[in-house]
Amino acid sequence: MLRSMQNASSRASGRSRRSLRIPFRAFDAVCRAVTTYVESLLTDTERRYGLWKSWTVSATRFTAGDNRGWWNSHDWSCLGEEWTPDPTWKASVLNRFLLPFVPPGGRVLEIGPGGGRWTEVLIARAARVYVLDVAEVPLRVCRHRFSRLSTVTYVRGDGRTVPLVERSIDAIWAYDVFVHVNPHDARSYVTEFGRVLRRGGHAVLHHPGHELTTGERALQHRSDLTDLMINEFARGSGFEIVLQTRELVNEGDALTVLRKK
Ligand SMILES: C[S@@+](CC[C@H](N)C(=O)[O-])C[C@H]1O[C@@H](n2cnc3c(N)ncnc32)[C@H](O)[C@@H]1O
């Protein structure tokens, strides 16, 4: 008798737990949707007014930790060439943006080498190449790919600073990297570029533009950084803007060339 009463009561409490679970899931889904919507309004406002401080919502997205996780688990077997639409496009990027601003025989810093799609060109051109990445796996891929060359230095960074000495670098190259870096960390990098670049040196940076909507940015996996923020950071770090274009980058992105004054 006692056992059957116990069974009946545990069946009843199981039913009530199950019936509680469904409204809880619905409540959770509604809370998530509201949070996502409020976040998208806030990040749109941050972009519109060029807000980039540590307390902004955009500083909690596309962090160094996020990037380390994403790029350490990426399949690097195509060495980043999966993002090259065709050889003509790659040749155009090199001719327009790399060769004019990376002096032969110089010291170059590449941020985010990935599988070494641009690194191989930089190595052939420069006397010394520092490749700095926030993730270990791309660095391991490059170290293996360029193992016969002694002119490359591999640096695992914190995703915001450059552990090199002042005015020791002639050119900086970062393609398909700042599109994934949040405004707060990008601001830190541009300040660091102003410190490590020699006078007259160039930084070539591919980054998001400002036109994409929240949904488009999410689809294209773009951070909340904008071209207008890059311009503000650059001016505050002793740079002049030599070139800013929408050519040869994905729709909604931009590419800026900075020159250290
Ligand atoms: C999309 S891949 C592009 C790789 C290469 N630049 C290319 O165009 O093929 C992004 C690269 O940037 C690196 N990265 C992402 N965030 C970074 C950060 N905050 N600092 C340094 N490297 C970063 C990733 O680990 C990865 O190697």
Q: CA 147 to CA 144: how far, in whole Å?
A: 5
Which DSSP category does 179 fall into?
A: G
Which among 238, 237, 256 has a CA at the least distance from the CA of 247?
256
Query: Which of 12-21, 24-33, 84-93 ranks highest by mean pLDDT?
Result: 84-93
Please name the residues in contact with 246: beta carbons below 8 A apart, sequence gap of 6 or more: 209, 253, 254, 255
Asked if 155 and 132 count as a contact pair (C-beta separation under 8 A), the reply is yes
Q: CA 141 to CA 146: how far, in whole Å?
A: 9
Q: At residue 178, what is the residue type?
A: F
Ligand 1 center to residue 20 CA distance, Å? 45
| pLDDT tens digit sequence for 31-88 | 998 998 888 899 999 999 999 999 999 999 999 999 999 999 999 999 999 999 999 9
Which among 177, 132, 125, 168 has a CA at the least distance from the CA of 149?
125
Ligand 1 close to Cβ of residue 177 (< 6 A): yes
SS3 229: helix
Pocket test for ligand 1, best of 71, 77, 164, 204 (most atoms within 8 A of CB): 71
The owner of tokens 């110089």 is: 106
Which DSSP category does 146 fall into?
A: T
Which of 7-11, 30-34, 177-181, 235-239 shows the lowest mean pLDDT across its residues?
Answer: 7-11
Residue minimizing CA distance to atom 19 of ligand 1: 159
CA-based R_g, the chain, Å: 23
Q: In terms of DSSP bridges, do strands 253-260 and 197-208 run parallel, antiparallel, or are they unpaired?
A: antiparallel
Taking the CA of residue 72 as reference, the ligand 1 atom at the shortest distance is 25
Given CATH 3.40.50.150, say whether it is the number of domain 62-260.
yes
Q: CA 21 to CA 164: how far, in whole Å?
A: 54
Ligand 1 close to Cβ of residue 116 (< 6 A): no
Ligand 1 close to Cβ of residue 176 (< 6 A): yes
| pLDDT tens digit sequence for 142-176 | 999 999 999 999 999 999 999 999 999 999 999 99
Residue minimizing CA distance to atom 16 of ligand 1: 67
